[in-house]
Structure 1
Amino acid sequence: MLKELLRSSEDEKVDINLSPMIDCVFILLIFFILTTVFLQETGIEVDRPEASGSVPLEQDSILIGISSDERIFHGGREVSLSAVRPLVHRAMAAKRATVIIQADKNIGLDLFAKVYGEAKTAGAEVYFSTDHVENYQ
């Protein structure tokens, strides 16, 4: 009789309930999705000029970067000057956003003016990004 009881307990399969672990994984996934900040970067490091006053950056903005070697970037990719207007126009069709130009302080005014003009022609409000410096007087 004892032999039969021991044999029957060995034949039983043990199942591990994975439902609580899956619930925990989904809760963590939702937590990380909700706490992640989705910011659009230009993809290049720009040495911006200094300014005494500034306006905070908007979340829904189109960022265009101009590097010190006078190359234009959007979303980490290099784009040509002729591609700025269609790029801004496409982005403006999806959502009403402003354009922020992050230009290196060592570039010529000519390229900045051309990029500014292309974005303005596409119908966007255009701003440029600077480093904020407190006014010590």
Structure 2
Amino acid sequence: MLNRPKQAFIVPIKPREQFRLDLVPMINIVFLLLIFFMLTSSAFKQSEKVDLPEVESSELKTEKNITLLITSQRQVEYEGESISLDALLPVLQGELHDREKKIVEIQADKAVEFKLFGDVIDVAKQAGAVDFILATDAMQSE
């Protein structure tokens, strides 16, 4: 046997990359959350306790609107009865006198001339109405 020098096959070993957890972004998020909760909690603190008064009745008083109906036959109706514009003024004055919200709702047929509609609004303004509601139907898409 021949004495040959043994040659070793040398494989270069690459240095292993170390796993590095970067904590800076996580710390930033924690601080941002901390600041957020500190600010929102201070906004919801009550400064003092308040002793609220008690009431006997908790019912809400709601007023129905005064509703006028103008038909396609040029008739003005109030509470289901036909009424002339001259007779409408004192009726509306009496109804609007004690109301907090002076609102008149007008339900007019689409075939009614605007002049009659305007006359009804004028009478209601003379009676003391401040706001008006014009009742309409929603458009139906086809």
2:88 matched residue in structure 1 = 84
Q: Which has the higher contact order (CA 8 A, sep 6+)?
A: 1
Residue identity (%) = 31
2:71 aligns with one of 56, 67, 72:
67
| Deviation for aligned residue 1:127 | 2.0
1:102 aligns with one of 107, 111, 116:
107
Structure having the larger proportion of residues in helix: 1
* Structure 2 segments unaligned to the other structure (5+ residues): 1-61
1:111 matched residue in structure 2 = 116
The CA distance in 1 between the partners of 2:104 and 2:137, in whole Å, is 17
1:128 aligns with one of 129, 134, 137:
134
SS at match of 1:65: strand
* TM-score after normalising by structure 1: 0.52
* TM-score after normalising by structure 2: 0.50
| Deviation for aligned residue 1:59 | 4.9
The CA distance in 1 between the partners of 2:138 and 2:81, in whole Å, is 26
Check conservation: 1:72, 1:80, Cα contact below 8 A.
yes
| 2:112 partner letter | I
